Amino acid sequence: MSVNTLITITAEEAVKVVKSNDRVFFQGASMTPNLLIDSLCKRYNELENIEIIQVHTDGKAKYMEKPYSDSFKLFSCFVGSNVRKGVNTNNGDYIPIFLSEIHWLFRRNILPLDVAFIQVSTPDKHGFCSLGPSVDITLPAIQTAKLVIAQINPQVPRTHGDGIIHISNIDYAVDVDQPIHTSISGIPTDIETKIGKHVAELVEDGATLQMGIGNIPNAVLHNLTNHKRLGIHTEMFSDGILPLVEKGIITGEEKEIKTGKIVTCFAVGSQKLYDFIDDNPLVHFKEAGYTNDTSLIKLNPKVTAINSAIEIDLTGQICADSIGTYQYSGVGGQMDFIRGASLSKGGKAIIAMPSITTKGVSKITPFLKEGASVTTTRAHVHYVATEYGVVNLFGKSLKQRAKALISIAHPNFREELEKEAYKRFNQ
């Protein structure tokens, strides 16, 4: 094969290289290579003990469903809705790990990969393909896997940064021509809008932002239209930043790390978002080991990290990835950016959440549920925001923290929380 020539085969032919007892990596998010995954699942009666490593995939995860799951076992570093049920059964398991450290599993040979399933753009005239908007842990995966199988898709946007692979490093290629996964956020509720306003008031001109996808981040961004010289250094972003880029509010001119660039390791959103990042040198895609490196994050000015929680106890312990013992999501990059923001000059680490769940249960609780994970320790938590306001727990004692958190709890639960605080602290 010529150095710049790629010979393609069918997905069914490509996945035949997977053998029983292999460890297989799946690229995730908008770039999930579903054709290869589904073709592998069709071989379930020929294979056994296939170990799957991933962060978060989109689309139907057949490998978590019967009868396919008899041949596959998922070890996920983050849990999405399509595998949540399976991860909480014998068919899967969760690996607690910071997003910033997953690359070590591959590069330090802790979880050596036999095969990597990826999706890439068509090669350019030099033979280089782009990993599109999902570089994250895919880059270290393809650099260490014994075999790389790629879906070659002309609808994958070519992204700038480090997410490239030469066709000489692709062992088997399959042609596809279909849109990558999109995600459209809903309209923020009144509660989410109030939270967004509270958080936006904490954001200073010249701040470097980290926020994810969802209604609360979008509500925050919607309230930043009068800000100036904002920058982005994040693990991911979505459509919410586009209006701020168009209005010249996001310029990145005060950032220390890649000044003027929007730095991320993946992006998920609408086709408009993918059109924006396509061949756009303004957006720089790096692997998660870079974007989530606390020692780099903290060098940017006024890093403002906005994350969320499932529940928080009266001392400030944050559970953001499980509901009791039920694994709901994952550690992800919350701690990476909370710590990075806390160490940044003028930085602010923010936990933003509604005061109650959709079922009307208080998210501010006397104690975390039995078996719940502590995603972020109380020593790391600074700002907490609900629709009832913002408190800063940094430097506050346990009793002071309880009082502060009760002040932003839902009014229906404040009396009960005060009683529990009295029982615990005797005052």
By annotation, the residues acting in catalysis are 235
> How crowded is residue 189: how many other Cβ atoms within 10 Å of its Cβ?
14
Helix ranges, 145-260 (H):
190-200, 215-222, 242-246
Farthest-apart Cα atoms in the chain, separation: 77
Instruction: Give the CB-side neighbour count of residue 17, counting CA atoms within 13 A.
Output: 18
350: β partners: 306, 383
State how far Cα 359 lies from the chain centre.
Answer: 25
What would the DSSP string read from start to end of 128-147?
EEE-TTB-TTHHHHHHH-SE
* Spatial CB neighbours of 416, under 8 Å, sequence gap ≥ 6: none
Query: Smallest Cα–Cα separation from 286: which of 257, 310, 314?
Result: 257
Q: What does the block give as tokens for 27?
A: 């690229």
Task: Look at the alpha carbons of 242, 216, 265, 117 in this order and tell me if their dihedral is positive or negative.
Answer: negative
Query: Smallest Cα–Cα separation from 356: which of 413, 302, 290?
Result: 413
State how far Cα 393 lies from the chain centre.
Answer: 25
> How crowded is residue 13: how many other Cβ atoms within 10 Å of its Cβ?
12
Rg value, the chain, Cα: 22
